[in-house]
Amino acid sequence: MIIQGEEMVTPAVIAAMEGTPDPRLREIMASLVRHLHAFVRDIRPSDAEFERAIEFLNGIGKATHDKHNEGILFSDVLGISTLVGLLNNPSWGGETEAALLGPFWRAAAPECAPGDDIARSPTPGSTLFARGRVRDGQGRPIPGALVDVWQASPTGLYENQDPSQADMNLRGCFRTDDEGRWHFRSVKPAGYPIPTDGPVGALLHAQVRPHYRPAHIHFMVSAPGYQTLVTQVFLDDCPHLESDVTFSVVQSLIGDFVRHDDPAAAPGPVEGPWYSLDYDFTLRPGEQRIPTPPIR
């Protein structure tokens, strides 16, 4: 097609892709082109602005490596990750709501015995004992489900960001028992700033946006015959709940982190006050699919 005006560009591109054998890819790319072209017509970027946009996208690629995923971070701060998770995990039947995977999940965390401590190196902070059950939509326990947990240390860093932490510190996988129960020991999480040394940080600075995440623990719960649940449980008294930079805080995911002042009442040896968390997960039938790790 010979282009004779800007109005011909969009149909020309879509026509060029009509021979795509994969119908889903053909549908996705046609929609993407229509929306992107409409966006360009709406904002009418100058040549300099277009160049800066390309530099921004190139910067995301340059800032991504085995220990950091700037692309996931960009999707997170635009709310896209949260939107995709909630669209794919509606809670119509009482299933646990999803929250984004985030840029810090690593595959192959050690499989632990029930009740094990996931603090693998000296980690400051109050002791936390977490427990719960995994059930289906009818309330029946799901035995043998894999509960993969990971969190930042109370200093606000994941172990892949902090050379002072042991490998796989504050990460672990637990199997549910015949009653669907799981439990582990950790430390109380804290809120933290997301990395801001790349193009995403520059964007947040230009928008004068807060760059903090509220304190949370990540969970990935999977079992054969059930849709893998990726979610987070948030600390109920964290000051960043209403200003999460990734828009991930859903009311049902705010946990009840209870403080206890009697060390003798703890399930294990502790010094000083400790915390407990009870939280159950409900899975929906579906495909047990494990996501691609954003980092190694």
- In terms of domains, do 27 and 86 share one? no
Q: Quick one: which H or E segment has residue 213?
A: strand 212-213
pLDDT for residue 196: 96
Domain annotation covers residue 287 = no
Catalytic residue among 171, 183, 185, 213: 213
Number of domains comprising the chain: 2
In the prediction, which pLDDT does 76 show? Answer: 97
**Do 28 and 77 belong together in one domain?**
no
The pLDDT of residue 242 is 95
Does residue 109 sit in the same domain as residue 251?
A: yes
The residue from 158, 226, 275, 279 that is catalytic is 158
* Active-site residue (options: 133, 135, 216, 240): 216
Beta pairing partners, 172: 149
One domain for residues 197 and 248: yes
Please answer whether residues 274 and 129 qualify as being in contact, where contact means their C-beta atoms are separated by less than 8 angstroms: yes
- In this prediction, residue 233 carries a pLDDT of 98
Confidence at residue 126, expressed as pLDDT on a 0 to 100 scale: 95
- Kindly state whether residue 54 falls inside one of the protein's structural domains: no
Task: Mark whether 216 is an active-site residue.
Answer: yes
| 24 and 129 both lie in a single domain | no
Name the catalytic one among 192, 226, 275, 279.
192
Q: Is 158 a catalytic residue?
A: yes
- Of 113, 83, 220, 126, nearest to 174 by C-alpha is 113
Tell whether 181 and 275 lie within a shared domain. yes
Give the integer Cα–Cα distance in Å for 80 and 74. 9
pLDDT in tens, 175-212: 999 999 999 999 999 999 999 999 999 999 999 999 99
Residue 266's pLDDT is: 97
Would you say 128 and 186 are in contact if contact means Cβ atoms under 8 Å apart?
yes
Rounded (10°) angle between helices 9-16 and 23-43: 160
Q: Are residues 154 and 11 in the same domain?
A: no
Q: Are residues 182 and 40 in the same domain?
A: no
Check residue 92 and give its pLDDT.
75
Q: What's the confidence (pLDDT) of residue 112?
A: 98
- The CB density around residue 268, as the number of other CB atoms within 10 Å, is 11
Residue numbers in the chain where pLDDT is lower than 70: none
Active-site position among 133, 218, 275, 279: 218
Do 137 and 183 reside in the same domain of the chain?
Answer: yes
Note whether residue 288 is domain-resident: no
Res 89: pLDDT: 85
Q: Would you call 192 a catalytic residue per the annotation?
A: yes
Shared domain check, 89 and 6: no
Alpha carbon distance 67, 290 (integer Å): 19
Q: Do 39 and 185 fall into the same domain?
A: no
Per-residue pLDDT tens for 78-127?
Answer: 999 999 999 988 877 789 999 999 999 999 999 999 999 999 999 999 99
What type of residue is 58? N
Clarify whether 34 is annotated catalytic: no
Residue 8 CB partners (closer than 8 Å, separation 6+): 1
- What's the residue count for the chain? 296
| CATH value at residue 224 | 2.60.130.10
Range of the structural domain that residue 210 is part of: 70-282
